[in-house]
Structure 1
Amino acid sequence: MNEQQWLQELLKVNGEEVKLSDKQAKILEAAIEMFAEKGYAATSTSEIAKRAGVAEGTIFRHYKTKKDLLLAIVTPTVTKVVAPFLAKEFVKEVFGNQYKSYEDFVRALMKNRYEFVKKHLPLIRIFWQEIAFHPEIKEQFQMIFTENVYEKFKKIVEYFQSKGEIIDIPPDSIIRMTITTIAGFLYTRFLFLPEKEWDDEGEMERTVRFLMHGLTKK
């Protein structure tokens, strides 16, 4: 999905497009491209204006600061894309199924997150780059995770612990290890080394096996 398609999808509310001026749409489109390519801190409003084909002053007529421009992109990403996905599709597709093992659950979780990041990469790249530097973005994501995912995740962990399949340590630790292992693969695959020739299926399977069995030779 390219940035133009992203913008059209992003600016729909209840199926109807938000009315933007042509210049405002170009500014948002250029900002998505620039923030995804260079990061927020390394991108100037003059560069965004140049790519959008508008005067720099035009940006500040629509957005008071560069931070406001970032939040105009990221906030809808969280509230219209990430939140609904976590609350509905993600929970239904991953947490709504019965699994024979925790390994099967992890495999389904990784595959789901892989497809999600691959589909929404331009804005996910911005979101991933900036979440550590902007508390309001991190707080939004934490709230969404806590309200929609955490308790369901914890129940799955506790269920497989009760069956003796996974070790008896705090569920929060298992959740953390699972998330950071999967996130580490996705970050490396799509952001850190995207140009590498990846065997995605093989690497995901190796990641699942590492998470379940570690590096100890059996």
Structure 2
Amino acid sequence: MTEKGIRDYFEQTMAADATITPKQRAILQASLDLFAEQGFDHTSTSDIATRAGVAEGTVYRRYKTKNAIREAVVAPIIDNIVPSMAADFSEAELHQSFATLEDFFQAIFSDRLAFVTDNAKELKVVFEMIFFNADSRSALMKRVGPLVVNQIGTVFTDLKQRQLIVDWPNDLIIQTMLSMLVGYFARLVMGFPDTDITRETDFIVMALTKTFTPSAD
């Protein structure tokens, strides 16, 4: 079965929100689709109105600017959808005892890389908005962190008992790990040139392993 993506969850979130009218729902869904398909800068309010099946004046009455539309689109994604999906690690990956710390980070990175690549266009909409906004980035990290701790805390306990990972508080490990992963994933979805995922996966896993391996003394 194919895992649901950000668009699917966004549609469900809009449908479940009783404060949003059907026209607003259509506008926001159309906006996410168009921003993901052709980019924010290349999407006009006329495009949004046509895709949503409403008059352009209706779009302006609901949202005064295109930035206001993007903010309304991105807010539920940052608040609920991305944090939940980012922490939704494969149960098959987590329910095992990792022989080495490198094996653990390889599994974690590969699992979330699949999520990022499957939702790259939608994530680009989010990253374009928060890339230069420290408050938004911080809010996203604070939402994701506790969810990840809940998901993989038992794995950390196992790794610590076998002295394969530093004996730091789990939330500090997560914060440091997420900073490295989110930075790379942002680079990936923003389409930076000369990206070589296979080679860079090795670099990221190596960096994580070196950072969290206990010192010999």
TM category (shorter chain) comes to 0.5 to 0.7
Which of 152-161 and 105-114 deviates more? 152-161
Aligned partners of 2:104, 2:185: CA distance in 1, in Å?
Answer: 17
Q: CA RMSD for the aligned pairs? A: 4.0
> Residue 203 of structure 2: which of 185, 202, 206 is its match?
206
Aligned partners of 2:134, 2:175: CA distance in 1, in Å?
Answer: 21
**2:89 alignment partner, SS class:** helix
Offset, 1:163: 1.9
| Residue aligning to 1:58 | 58
Aligned partners of 1:135, 1:60: CA distance in 2, in Å?
Answer: 27
Offset, 1:127: 1.7
**1:11 alignment partner, SS class:** helix
State the one-letter code of the partner of 1:60.
Y
Aligned residues: 199
TM-score by length of 1: 0.65
Extract unaligned runs of 5+ from structure 1.
Answer: none
Aligned partners of 1:108, 1:93: CA distance in 2, in Å?
Answer: 10
**2:207 alignment partner, SS class:** helix
| Residue aligning to 1:11 | 11
Matching of residue 145 in structure 1 with residue 145 in structure 2: yes
- 8 Å Cα contact 2:159/2:165 also seen in 1: yes
Aligned partners of 2:57, 2:14: CA distance in 1, in Å?
Answer: 32
- 8 Å Cα contact 2:49/2:59 also seen in 1: no
State the one-letter code of the partner of 1:118.
T
| Residue aligning to 1:118 | 117
> Residue 49 of structure 1: which of 2, 22, 45 is its match?
45
TM-score by length of 2: 0.66
| Residue aligning to 1:166 | 165
| Residue aligning to 2:34 | 33
State the one-letter code of the partner of 1:131.
I
**1:90 alignment partner, SS class:** coil
| Residue aligning to 1:130 | 129
- 8 Å Cα contact 2:45/2:56 also seen in 1: yes
Aligned partners of 1:64, 1:26: CA distance in 2, in Å?
Answer: 13
| Residue aligning to 1:105 | 104
- 8 Å Cα contact 1:157/1:171 also seen in 2: yes
Percentage of pairs with the same residue: 18
**1:181 alignment partner, SS class:** helix
Aligned partners of 1:15, 1:207: CA distance in 2, in Å?
Answer: 38
* Structure 1 residues 10-32: Cα deviation after superposition (integer angstroms, max 9, x where no partner): 3135999x9845x9636643465
* Structure 1 residues 90-140: Cα deviation after superposition (integer angstroms, max 9, x where no partner): 263544443223222211110111111111112211222323638578536
Offset, 1:65: 5.0
